[in-house]
Structure 1
């Protein structure tokens, strides 16, 4: 196991906008109370009429969603933003031929800081290489995503190295349940540079260019590509008024009961015609 800290953890806050099923003041108060008790939450604003909750926090989006849903209300993340000027955000929905699937979000906090927040399920416990690849091409699953995003023709390295691919994001670590939930910053990735490219999680640990294998300086020798997704522009704060996903017909609340990506996401039954 390579003990190098591949990711730059962050205590910097971001603003998360959730749609939350609330019908009364007691619902709103329950949500506000559970969030205010959490040290990682800086502020909470609730609009009961719009069923919206805005949280400024250093927690992952999954942690905040879990706190809200611990009150018995369902929640869906609608947008992310910075406490500073909105510099852009993006999202990738990862899936593959196996059980691995997840959602990863990018938020440009400043010119030199990009926040990466995500949850990926179905992994084997342990470390997994995590990279932005140059192509947003999934025609042959993850094999057509191209190489690591590397516009300056550098050797593979760790996120904190000056000699690294721009797409080198180090490792994410899955727990015994196969889930990797993470939140970290990167100083080289820019949201506007990765939109349209792909994000890939690998089967093995990235050696960060420090190994003896011939692939160490090329890919980190992190194994096969397990799951991938195209990085697409996503909604910032208050930019997502829709209640239905136009790409797959899944409503805001239906998606809470469906896989976040891959098989089972879309409605496959043809509705009966009403003539």
Structure 2
């Protein structure tokens, strides 16, 4: 099954704008009157708008063939639920990595390694763009480690449901100076979202965490408001309540799971907060704003235009 992402080119937009901009007065219609004593006038349409003259010119070869190609991925359709991780059934997603590959030998090595990973259903490698696309339920952390075990640098560049054309992926990054982490959210269906998180720098034990109403970090987690709830129902647990994080003796925590009735598109601009206690009774330790993340086929950039940093240099700084 092929997943195609529709592409609207700037030239198509320009043509649409030109046509829409032509005023009705630019068209002069002459029709044949019904009275027989009047001279017969042939029906004509006069184009008084000079801008239409561009349509008389033949399209250049570059203009016709310059549309970017749609991203095509010949994968099986994702299933609703797949393998189990830590007792939780994880739905399948399409995940894209930029991988430092040079030849067909690299492609073979990457494919062979990924096919041994539990939860990986299908793998496609695009050597030209150095992109590896993985369909499956395996966590990002597991797939990243597998790719790096081949001796190659790998960087996550997109994740989501290939059949979803709305904002289906988001990320929140915790940048220290004490607590570092990243939380990834991906929409699987209209009523189900998949969540993965990694944290370091937390004290050992249980810490509550949640998606809160506001992305205001003026006072840290304390200014992010209450736990987000998509409905006015106060009798049940808010959909933004993420439960607790289990932090090990090294101060590290890893979470992967799913959340019902959570729509990723409604979370952009809100915040994820982590608390000192498991009941979230304190003001909170830290928070990060949720931002839209690249979906599949949206991020093949290898060089940051703002500072010239390559994707591999950025990877080494994480």
| TM-score, with length taken from structure 2 | 0.67
* Partner residue, 1:89: 169
* Partner residue, 2:265: 192
Kindly state the Cα deviation for residue 58 of structure 1 after the two structures are TM-superposed: 1.3
Name the larger-Rg structure. Answer: 2
User: Distance in 2 between the 1:226 and 1:251 partners?
Assistant: 33
Aligned pair 1:21/2:100, yes or no? yes
- Deviation per CA, 1:21-74, whole angstroms, max 9, x where unpaired? 011122221111111012221111111111110111212111110110011101
* Partner residue, 1:55: 134
Name structure 1 gaps, 5 residues minimum.
1-6, 156-161, 207-218, 260-275
Higher helix share: 2
SS for the counterpart of 1:46 is strand
**Structure 1 residues 99-178: aligned runs within 5 Å:** 99-150=178-229, 152=231, 163-178=236-251
* Partner residue, 1:180: 253
- Deviation per CA, 1:100-152, whole angstroms, max 9, x where unpaired? 11111111111110111221122223322110111111223332222222354
Kindly state the Cα deviation for residue 8 of structure 1 after the two structures are TM-superposed: 8.4
Alignment: residue pair count = 232
Residues 73 and 110 (structure 1), Cα distance of their counterparts in 2 relative to 1, 3 Å cut: same
- Deviation per CA, 1:177-233, whole angstroms, max 9, x where unpaired? 322222211012211211110111122223xxxxxxxxxxxx4x3x44222111111
User: Distance in 2 between the 1:174 and 1:28 partners?
Assistant: 37
User: Distance in 2 between the 1:71 and 1:114 partners?
Assistant: 30
Contact 2:215 2:271 survives alignment (8 Å): yes
* Partner residue, 2:120: 41
| TM-score, with length taken from structure 1 | 0.77
* Partner residue, 1:243: 302
Kindly state the Cα deviation for residue 83 of structure 1 after the two structures are TM-superposed: 5.2
Residues 15 and 151 (structure 1), Cα distance of their counterparts in 2 relative to 1, 3 Å cut: closer
The root-mean-square deviation of aligned C-alpha atoms, in Å, is 2.3
* Partner residue, 1:229: 288
Kindly state the Cα deviation for residue 245 of structure 1 after the two structures are TM-superposed: 4.7
Higher relative contact order (CA 8 A, sep 6+): 1
Contact 2:171 2:291 survives alignment (8 Å): yes
SS for the counterpart of 1:37 is coil
SS for the counterpart of 1:90 is strand
* Partner residue, 1:253: 312
Name structure 2 gaps, 5 residues minimum.
1-85
User: Distance in 2 between the 1:203 and 1:245 partners?
Assistant: 36
